[in-house]
């Protein structure tokens, strides 16, 4: 269950030696999530006594350089290798409608509220971007709907809505070569409710009382598998679990299947449903979450000096990615173009981002290279921006390394309104990026009351702005040092 073990954003937690959990692990200093108090770091090459150490975090020099683009590169021209977006589907705290979702974002409405899915009164964090009134009617039959973990229910609804949006309903699919259509929907945590319930049954009643669905509905590949089973899609099918970078990894890999000629269409995205006691409790134990219980809607505040951690969210987002050649032949409505992407690793620490930002800046530079885009062409960034003390600034610094002149760039944080969707975050934010391209309007980053002085890029504070996006990038980073960036632009023939 690697997908369950490490699902969170690169929020800069530093494990130290002052507080010991029931399993004996030390969780003392949380640099980036909580201020470090009275901590004297050991000399280079040594760590404080009792700290958790990994071989990757030992002192060593990594010699690497961010590649600099010296002239405007050429974009892909081959219609069989160009990848376009022909459909989108989602499940979010604002419902399952794409337009409603983006309208709420443009209005600056917060979807964060007190948790009522379970009794959270004894929890030190009692709020999240919890989905309410979710309906799978018309997408999942009643018997399966009752059995499924919400992670897979969200995935099936978002995936099927995306197929509908792309005019790829069941009748159309029956007349297509479905061996050329794949599914790649990832998740950071997997079926966490199914896993938690199974463990509870094992402990309280014994293994004989465990559900036969415990394993199938817990493992992280089941979203892609179930969506393929329901739709008959027989192309490349698997999942990726890279914590909060998951969805972008899926987009990047899906596009490469198309570019290599292995698929004509890929159904790709991310899904997550971890607003449950185990999920919330686990992140509380990491001290990763904001504790602004008295005013939840003000809790997620990227780049604001008063931020104190991220807010959990959930949902699913799915894109229909298709070769331009195939889309043109079937007369598909083309929403936007995926130009390229990149994935890198910090190779530094389980949870801390590199202080020099090299992993992130390298990832951004590589994504532009893969896209055939020069830095000067980019004028919009949908940032990872989780609302953690160090993570927000580290991302801004990395952006400044790649884009020497940020005067024309606007950058916003979707998580300020919907919380952090973990494995689904990049998918929901990709949809927000594409809607920005389509509408010419950028949603605000809300709760921008006291912005950090180092944040000199326009964060679209509190009120939406009209902005014609030339090229937009969407960033997602995850525990383990996983970095991912995807690049979108308006489609031009």
Contacts of 146 (CB under 8 A, 6+ apart): none
CA distances from 333 to 66, 99, 324, 346, 428 (A): 37, 16, 11, 38, 20
DSSP string, 50-87: T----GGGSS-----------SPPPPP--TTT-EEEEE
Active site residues: 244, 384, 420
Residue position matching structure tokens 């099936």: 156
How many helices (H) and strands (E) in the chain? Answer: 14, 14
182 neighbors 233 (Cβ within 8 angstroms): yes
Token readout for 377 is 């062409």
Token readout for 198 is 């199974």
Burial environment of residue 403 by CB neighbours within 10 A (0 to 12, 13 to 18, 19 or more): buried
CA distances from 48 to 18, 28, 32, 256 (A): 10, 11, 18, 43
**318 φ/ψ sector (left φ>0, alpha ψ -120 to 50, else beta):** beta
Strands 265-272 and 83-91: unpaired
| Among 178, 184, 187, 190, CA closest to 253 | 184
Tell me phi and psi for residue 234, to 5 degrees.
-110, 10
Residue position matching structure tokens 């958790």: 52
Token readout for 200 is 């509870």
């Amino acid at each position: 269950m690697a997908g369950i073990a490490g699902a969170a954003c690169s929020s800069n937690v530093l494990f130290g030696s002052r507080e010991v959990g029931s399993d004996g692990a030390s969780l003392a200093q949380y640099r980036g999530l909580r201020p470090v108090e009275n901590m004297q770091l050991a000399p280079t090459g040594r760590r404080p006594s009792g700290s958790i150490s990994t071989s990757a975090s030992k002192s060593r020099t990594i010699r690497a350089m961010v590649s600099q683009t010296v002239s405007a590169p050429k974009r892909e021209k081959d219609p069989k290798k160009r990848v376009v977006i022909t459909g989108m589907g989602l499940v979010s705290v604002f419902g399952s409608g794409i337009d409603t979702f983006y309208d709420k974002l443009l209005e600056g409405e917060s979807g964060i509220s007190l948790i009522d899915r379970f009794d959270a009164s004894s929890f030190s964090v009692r709020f999240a971007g919890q989905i309410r009134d979710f309906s799978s009617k018309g997408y999942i039959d009643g018997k399966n709907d009752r059995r499924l973990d919400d992670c897979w229910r969200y995935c099936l609804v978002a995936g099927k809505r995306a197929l509908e949006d792309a005019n790829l309903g069941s009748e159309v699919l029956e007349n297509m070569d479905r061996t050329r259509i794949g599914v790649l929907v990832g998740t950071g945590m997997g079926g966490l409710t199914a896993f938690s319930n199974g463990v509870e049954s094992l402990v309280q009643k014994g293994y004989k009382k465990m559900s036969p669905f415990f394993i199938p509905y817990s493992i992280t590949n089941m979203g892609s598998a179930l969506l393929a089973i329901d739709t008959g899609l027989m192309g490349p099918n698997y999942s990726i679990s890279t914590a909060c970078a998951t969805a972008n990894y899926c987009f990047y890999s899906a596009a490469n299947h198309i570019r290599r000629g292995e698929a004509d269409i890929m159904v790709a995205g991310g899904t997550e449903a971890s607003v449950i006691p185990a999920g919330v409790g686990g992140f509380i134990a990491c001290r990763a979450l904001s504790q602004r219980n008295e005013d939840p809607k003000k809790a997620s505040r990227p780049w604001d000096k008063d931020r104190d951690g991220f807010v959990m969210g959930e949902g699913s987002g799915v894109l229909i990615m298709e070769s331009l050649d195939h889309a043109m032949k079937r007369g598909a409505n083309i929403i936007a173009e995926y130009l390229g992407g990149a994935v890198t690793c910090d190779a530094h620490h389980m949870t801390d981002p590199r202080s020099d930002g090299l992993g992130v800046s390298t990832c951004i530079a590589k994504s532009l290279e893969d896209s055939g885009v020069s830095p000067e062409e980019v004028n919009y960034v949908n940032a990872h921006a989780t609302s953690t003390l160090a993570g927000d600034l580290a991302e801004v610094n990395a952006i400044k390394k790649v884009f020497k002149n940020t005067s024309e760039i606007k950058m916003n944080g979707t998580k300020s309104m919907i919380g952090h969707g973990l494995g689904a975050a990049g998918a929901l934010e990709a949809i927000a990026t594409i809607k920005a391209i389509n509408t010419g309007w950028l949603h605000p980053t809300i709760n921008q009351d006291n912005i950090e002085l180092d944040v000199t890029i326009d964060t679209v504070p509190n009120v939406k702005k009209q902005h014609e996006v030339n090229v937009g990038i969407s960033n997602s980073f995850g525990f383990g040092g996983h970095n991912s960036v995807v690049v979108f632009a308006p489609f031009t023939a």
